[in-house]
Amino acid sequence: MSVTDLDLDVRNEIPRRRHELIFETYGKLGKGEGFVLINDHDPKPLYYQFEAEHGGEFSWDYQEEGPEVWKVRIGKV
């Protein structure tokens, strides 16, 4: 984890706003930077959306896998 990583906790956001916030945050990253997504469920569908829209351009590393909290470091490669 880099010192530039920030936590993006979307647990209190309404569901339709979550992906928008996540992709806004990803879009602001520089190469090699990342953030830690904190969610209340496994964000596997989000992974597939990243793969479809940014295949080969992102990293995805689980740091915590439930059952209450999921943390995933998402980075720009």
Please report, for the domain that includes residue 55, its CATH number.
3.30.110.40
Of 61, 66, 26, give the one whose Cα is nearest residue 18: 26
| 69 occurs within a structural domain | yes
Tens digits of per-residue pLDDT, 19-74?
999 999 999 999 999 999 999 999 999 999 999 999 999 999 999 999 999 999 99
In a domain, 1, yes or no: no
Range of 45's domain? 6-76
**Number of folded domains that form the chain:** 1
Q: Which pLDDT belongs to residue 4?
A: 59
For residue 58, tell me if it sits in a domain. Answer: yes
Residue 45 inside a domain? The answer is yes
Question: Please, which residues have CB within 8 angstroms of residue 42's CB and are 6 or more apart in sequence?
Answer: 65, 66, 70
pTM across the whole model: 0.91
Residue 11 has pLDDT above 80, yes or no: yes
